[in-house]
């Protein structure tokens, strides 16, 4: 009996298909793509982004992105949410995100948008 139970739980739930999995493999070049069709999908996206904002690789980004997400994500439209998603799930490392948000390094052109400006303003007001 125990052997069958162990086999039942052999494959983790993460191996199943989910639109939230495989974030690093998404194509973020089309941030204007608004295929999110319902409010529930937007709420799910907000929830995922809030979680990802809290669980960053370095403490500095945890503080910056958590306070930013708590303040602004509930008011973002679909396009803004996709831009924020592209920013925090980009191929760049946490130190680059930190440098861009505090303004010590210029952000790449693909992220130099209204979300980055809002993030920089948020960091300047908190310091």
Q: What is the pLDDT of residues 76-91, one digit of tens each?
A: 999 999 999 999 999 9
Residue 68: pLDDT band with limits 50, 70, 90:
very high
Q: Are 100 and 123 in contact (CB under 8 A)?
A: no
120: number of Cβ within 10 Å: 15
- Nearest alpha carbon to residue 103 among 84, 71, 127, 68: 127
The mean pLDDT value for 55-70 works out to 92
Q: CA dist 22 to 18, 27, 62, 83, 86, Å?
A: 8, 11, 21, 17, 13
Of 104 and 27, more confident: 104
Of 16 and 59, more confident: 59
Task: Write the class of the CATH domain 40-125.
Answer: mainly alpha
pTM of the predicted model, to two decimals? Answer: 0.69
d(CA 18, CA 21): 5
For the chain, which residues make up each domain, given as ranges?
Answer: 40-125
pLDDT, one tens digit per residue, over 91-121 is 999 999 999 999 999 999 999 999 999 999 9
Say whether 44 sits in a helix, a strand or coil: helix
């Amino acid at each position: 009996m125990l052997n069958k139970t162990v086999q039942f739980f052999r494959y983790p739930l993460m191996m199943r298909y989910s639109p939230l999995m495989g974030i690093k493999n998404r194509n973020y070049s089309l941030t204007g793509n608004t295929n999110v069709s319902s409010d529930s999908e937007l709420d799910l996206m907000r929830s995922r982004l809030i979680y990802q904002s809290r669980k960053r690789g370095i403490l500095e980004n945890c503080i910056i992105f958590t306070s930013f997400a708590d303040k602004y994500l509930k008011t973002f439209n679909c396009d803004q949410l996709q831009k924020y998603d592209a920013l925090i799930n980009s191929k760049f490392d946490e130190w680059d995100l930190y440098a861009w948000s505090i303004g010590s390094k210029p952000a790449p052109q693909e992220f130099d948008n209204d979300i980055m400006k809002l993030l920089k303003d948020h960091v300047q007001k908190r310091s």
